[in-house]
Amino acid sequence: SFGPIPPLTIESIGYGAGDLDFDEQGNILRLIVGVAADAAQHGDTVLLLETNLDDVTGEVVGYCVERLLQAGALDVFSTAIQMKKGRPATKLSVLCRPSDQSVMQALLFSETGTLGIRRSLQERCTLERRSVEVATEWGAVTGKVAQWPDGSVDFSPEYESCKTVATRHGVPLRVVLE
């Protein structure tokens, strides 16, 4: 069968040609030898939407970012770029599920007034992760625990949860994050 190569570390690739000639296709074989990707790593396909904005204020970009995240974007980021004739501009990038394409595009068009959006599907590899709640001296803080391929784990606190605790108790945010 034909299809994408599964996640693996390629060790070698070999090619060979057969003796028979076929009208419909070549008589060629490619063999890929490798080791399957670590079970702790998962993958999926995301959609990357990008547009260059040279006539939009920073406030409009910020508002658009908020709306995209509220609508379910996986991530949104902006990059300072320079366009033709030296014009400063912002490249706005949105990562989302492919099923959310129409919602995200509609927001980009309506909020920025852009005339075009580039689209590309991206394969990504992610670590296994789960949401957890940890006790602190100021109360519970939520975060994510990621499992690394070697079995070790790492905790990352959620900003909004830490912000709420810091505000409620008058503690510096950096202290709660630690």
Tens-place pLDDT, residues 109-166:
999 999 999 999 998 888 888 999 999 999 999 999 998 888 899 999 999 999 999 9
Rounded to 10°, the helix 58-70/101-112 angle is: 160
* pLDDT tens sequence across 65-110: 999 999 999 999 999 999 999 999 999 999 999 999 999 999 999 9
Start-to-end CA distance of the chain, whole Å, equals 51
Predicted confidence (pLDDT) at residue 62 exceeds the cutoff of 70: yes
In 3D space, the residue among 48, 47, 43 whose CA is nearest the CA of residue 99 turns out to be 47
Question: pLDDT at position 5, please?
Answer: 76
Report pTM: 0.69
